[in-house]
Structure 1
């Protein structure tokens, strides 16, 4: 899968595993979830209004475009939440098990 963010001249930060939609990838110490997710894939999450994908917008917690879920069902803003070792993040509506993804229509 092609990443939206590419790390250039990255050196010295420890990395650790996080899980994104059941796939293990690396995050770096100090990364927000948004950076970790977009360094691993081409989009941040499913759109709640149509079949498209979203990539975040404001990067500072104001636009509400970066909500993702933990495997336990906790809702997080990817742009303001630091990645942590062992996190399991869900970005796809189909993987939430139903009832977690906000919907404005049926």
Structure 2
């Protein structure tokens, strides 16, 4: 569904999504990197378990919350991917106890 625009010689960075190796371009946000790596949602809601994915891509809606390097409830659209970064999707109320 999401496709990257062609950019010649885009430098890449390696990171993981839920323990699976992934790559992104230098400067990509975590939200953009999730989408281009085929991850359709970042979290599920605590009450109903409904999937939520990046929506506004500018830090207003909070639908893109993920765990980054062990720290929960980080806005994926506001964080740039870094080498070796560990990104984990959040499932329901699991992250509320942090």
Q: Do Structure 1 and Structure 2 share a fold, with TM-score over 0.5?
A: yes
Residue 101 of structure 1 corresponds to 95
Q: Are the aligned partners of 2:30 and 2:79 in contact in 1 as well (CA < 8 Å)?
A: yes
3-state DSSP class of the match of 1:79? helix
Structure whose residues are more often strand by fraction:
2
Runs of 4+ displaced beyond 4 Å: none
Residue 21 of structure 1 corresponds to 18
Deviation at 1:92, TM superposition (A): 4.0
TM-score, normalised by the number of residues in structure 1: 0.77
Deviates more, 1:75-84 or 1:31-40: 75-84
Unmatched 5+ stretches in structure 1 = none
Unmatched 5+ stretches in structure 2 = none
Residue 29 of structure 2 corresponds to 32
3-state DSSP class of the match of 1:34? helix
Q: Are the aligned partners of 2:72 and 2:95 in contact in 1 as well (CA < 8 Å)?
A: no
Deviations 1:40-92 (A, max 9, x none): 02413122143332221111101111110024234311111111110000014
Q: Distance in 1 between matches of 2:22 and 2:57?
A: 22
Question: What number of residue pairs does the alignment pair up?
Answer: 96
RMSD between superposed Cα atoms in Å = 2.2
Residue 66 of structure 2 corresponds to 68
3-state DSSP class of the match of 2:67? strand
